Structures are given as structure tokens and as C-alpha cells.
Amino acid sequence: MKHIYFFEDGKSSTFPTSREDALLYKTRFYTSDTPCDANHHHNKRYVINNACHACLVDVGQMIKAAIKGDVDWSNFPQPIINAIDLVIHNNCHVANEPCGYGHLPIRTNTNHCHYCLENRQARQTAEQTGETFYKCNNPCRKCGQRSRRRVKTGSCENCEKQRHSVKSDIQNMMNKSPDLILERKDAKTMGIMVYRTGKPCIHGHYGFRYTSTGGCIDCLKGF
């Protein structure tokens, strides 16, 4: 079933109307209510890198024109010059439709997106050589960084580090203030990830609970 989304003014949209919503609905695109910087397109944007879809299509056309010698491309940004080079020297061609990951529309002779293929190959090579992480062209959907990815799961190294530091922050706080008394709503207001009411849970634990779910940490640990 096709989902229809709405802007606040009631205007409808094929895609979620903000990047945050798109992350929530796990869609590949969102519709921005502000036009793109480069060409003022009111078009769909890629969630992964905020790229304007219409601009990517335009860049493809520009690359075609550059190769024909119709435009001077000496001042083009480096990624576009590299793309032109791929077409001239590496058997690639320009596609009309960019891939689903917001890459420049450059396809290999097997009609794969060159950049997607590069990511897959980097992961395969890392797997074969027994590396834990591989270098990926795509920014992370969550943190926006181009950090390395775990070969097994594809998870972002930067996000993993952040999750780890949040975990150890929580642990430090529980170690430092084991007798803290704080209502869940106050913990929420203060942005504290755990709270402790001093009242027992249904299994008799007096310890900390997660603010987000209210779940008792001792219960979750199986004590």
C-alpha cells in the first residue's frame, strides 16, 4: 500500500516531509519544504546524504555534456572530475536515474552503480583479509559521518563508539550515586537515561531503571 505524507499546511507528499520522519518510516527519500541550495529544486532528497535528486540528475547531464566537449569542466569539483574520468577511462557510463544511495549516476559496464559496487568490493576484500572494519563511501544515516563499517553487520564505527560511551556514562552514574532518588518524569526532563525511585520493582529490585522504557535494569540483566 502506498503511503501519503502531509506537510503542516496540508499539502501532500509522496515521501515523508522531513529527514527525521524519513528515518522513522525507514524510507529512502524525503521531501524538503525548502528548495535545494544549488538550483532551488523543490524535489525529493536522499535520506542518506541529503543530496537533491534533481541535482544529481542534472549533474549526470552535465557530465554527458562535458564529455562531448560542450562545457568546460576544468573548474568542476573533484568528485565530478573523477566521475568524468570513470566514464572516459574506466568503461563507465552516465545513467538517467541515480542509484538509491544518492551517488552520482555513474554505472559500470555491468550496469551497477560504480560507487555501490566499490562499497561492496571494499567489504568483500576486508572479509577475505579478515579485517573487522571496511571503508564505505556512504555517510552513516544516523550520525552523518563517513566512518568505517563493521564487515559482519555493516554498523557504523562512530555510532558504535557513541553507544559505548553512553553505556559507560550510565554505568559511571550508577556507580557514583547508587542511592539516588529521582522520579522518571524528572529524569526525562533532565535528559538522564536512568532513574531510581527507591521503591521495589515487581521482582523486589531497588536499583535503577531505564528512563525511556521504565524497565528495571536488574530484571533485564536476569537477576
Provide the binding-site residues for Zn ion, judged by CB under 5 A. 36, 39, 41, 52, 54-55, 99, 101, 103, 113, 115-116, 140, 142-143, 156, 158-159, 201, 203, 205, 216, 218-219
In this complex, which beta carbon is closest to Zn ion, that of residue 103 or of residue 196?
Answer: 103
Minimum gap (Å) between residue 48 Cβ and Zn ion:
10
In this complex, which beta carbon is closest to Zn ion, that of residue 3 or of residue 142?
Answer: 142
Query: Going by C-beta distance under 8 Å and a sequence separation of 6 or more, which residues neighbour residue 157?
Result: 133, 147, 148, 149, 150
In this complex, which beta carbon is closest to Zn ion, that of residue 110 or of residue 129?
Answer: 110
In this complex, which beta carbon is closest to Zn ion, that of residue 84 or of residue 99?
Answer: 99
In this complex, which beta carbon is closest to Zn ion, that of residue 39 or of residue 125?
Answer: 39
Minimum gap (Å) between residue 108 Cβ and Zn ion:
11
Query: Which residue from 75, 76, 71, 36 is spatially nearest to 53, judged by alpha carbons?
Result: 36
Minimum gap (Å) between residue 195 Cβ and Zn ion:
14
Cell output for 20: 527525521
Minimum gap (Å) between residue 61 Cβ and Zn ion:
13
Residue 67 burial by Cβ neighbours in a 10 Å radius (0-12, 13-18, 19+)? middle
Minimum gap (Å) between residue 107 Cβ and Zn ion:
9
